[in-house]
């Protein structure tokens, strides 16, 4: 069983479109995250949710909106996609707000053309 799963794995879309990336974890964790990995492979936090509540919202354009319908899911919706949004997006989870061991999904490679 995959602990943290993201869909889709690859996403190619045109500028201006709206797209969503889904994330689910079956570990029973309370905290979930979205990270962005840029072309230089640097990982940076975007959002963090604990028990469906937003904890961290880094400096991310408001075109990015996370949605947590329950604590096992944290989806990422992106409006009006731009070329600079092209990156790999990783979902992760950990047991609590104070990071214990974190588990990452396989990543979603988003390419905006």
Partner 1 sequence: KQEVTQIPAALSVPEGENLVLNCSFTDSAIYNLQWFRQDPGKGLTSLLLIQSSQREQTSGRLNASLDKSSGRSTLYIAASQPGDSATYLCAVTLNTGNQFYFGTGTSLTVIP
- What residues line the site for partner 1 (CB under 8 A)? 4, 31, 33, 35, 41-45, 48, 50, 55-56, 90, 92, 97-107, 109
31 and 97 in contact (C-beta within 8 Å)?
A: yes
Task: Give the integer Cα–Cα distance in Å for 97 and 45.
Answer: 14
Minimum CB distance to partner 1, residue 106 (Å): 4
Of the two residues 98 and 113, which places its CB atom closer to partner 1 in the complex?
98
Of the two residues 14 and 40, which places its CB atom closer to partner 1 in the complex?
40
Minimum CB distance to partner 1, residue 11 (Å): 14
Of the two residues 64 and 90, which places its CB atom closer to partner 1 in the complex?
90
DSSP output for 47-111: EEEETTEEEEE-S--TTEEEEEEETTEEEEEE-S--GGG-EEEEEEEESSSS--S-EE---EEEE
Minimum CB distance to partner 1, residue 80 (Å): 26
DSSP 97: S
């Amino acid at each position: 069983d995959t602990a943290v799963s993201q869909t889709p794995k690859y996403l190619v879309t045109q500028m201006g479109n709206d797209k969503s990336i889904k994330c689910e974890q079956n570990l029973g964790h309370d905290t979930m995250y979205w990270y962005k990995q840029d072309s230089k492979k640097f990982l940076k936090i975007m959002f963090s949710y604990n028990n469906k509540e937003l904890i961290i919202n880094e400096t991310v354009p408001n075109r990015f909106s996370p949605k947590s319908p329950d604590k096992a899911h944290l989806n990422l919706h992106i409006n009006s996609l731009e070329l600079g949004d092209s990156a790999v997006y990783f979902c992760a989870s950990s047991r609590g707000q104070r990071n214990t061991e974190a588990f990452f999904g396989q990543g979603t490679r988003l390419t905006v053309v």
